[in-house]
Amino acid sequence: GENVEQHPSTLSVQEGDSAVIKCTYSDSASNYFPWYKQELGKRPQLIIDIRSNVGEKKDQRIAVTLNKTAKHFSLHITETQPEDSAVYFCAAGNAGNMLTFGGGTRLMVKP
């Protein structure tokens, strides 16, 4: 089955700096790579996703890149704000398979 590794497990940045979270996956059949944000005490919610036919996707301060050859994808948050503080999860899957999550990254943005 799919195995998703996520790094780092914790990340502390100063407000205004950029944050980068990286994930690797093992199953070359995976073609869907979402990122979820979970605030304290809340449910995980999708913030951005990318499919294997696209190398990069942006949505305001958030961007995701995908390298299919190397089987890794990354989340980039620019101009971080205190409200970006949360746990971020990457995941990988495809239509015929389950969605497998990485271990999560706790992002702390210091004012």
Partner 1 sequence: DARVTQTPRHKVTEMGQEVTMRCQPILGHNTVFWYRQTMMQGLELLAYFRNRAPLDDSGMPKDRFSAEMPDATLATLKIQPSEPRDSAVYFCASGFRADTEAFFGQGTRLTVV
Which residues here bind partner 1, judged by CB under 8 A?
A: 1, 9, 31-32, 34, 38, 40, 43-46, 49, 51, 87, 89, 93-101, 103-104, 106
Q: Is 77 or 87 the residue whose CB approaches partner 1 more closely?
A: 87
CB of 5 to partner 1, least distance (A): 12
Which is closer to partner 1, CB of 78 or CB of 94? Answer: 94
Considering the complex, state which of residue 2 and residue 78 has its C-beta at the smaller distance from partner 1. Answer: 2
Work out how close the CB of 69 gets to partner 1 at its nearest, in angstroms, rounded to a whole number.
20
By CB atoms closer than 10 A (0-12, 13-18, 19+), residue 67 is exposed
Q: Considering only CA atoms, which of 50, 87, 48, 83 is closest in space to residue 67?
A: 50
Smallest gap from Cβ 29 to partner 1, in A, equals 11
The CA angle 47-53-55, to the nearest 5 degrees, is 65
Tokens of 64: 């995701």
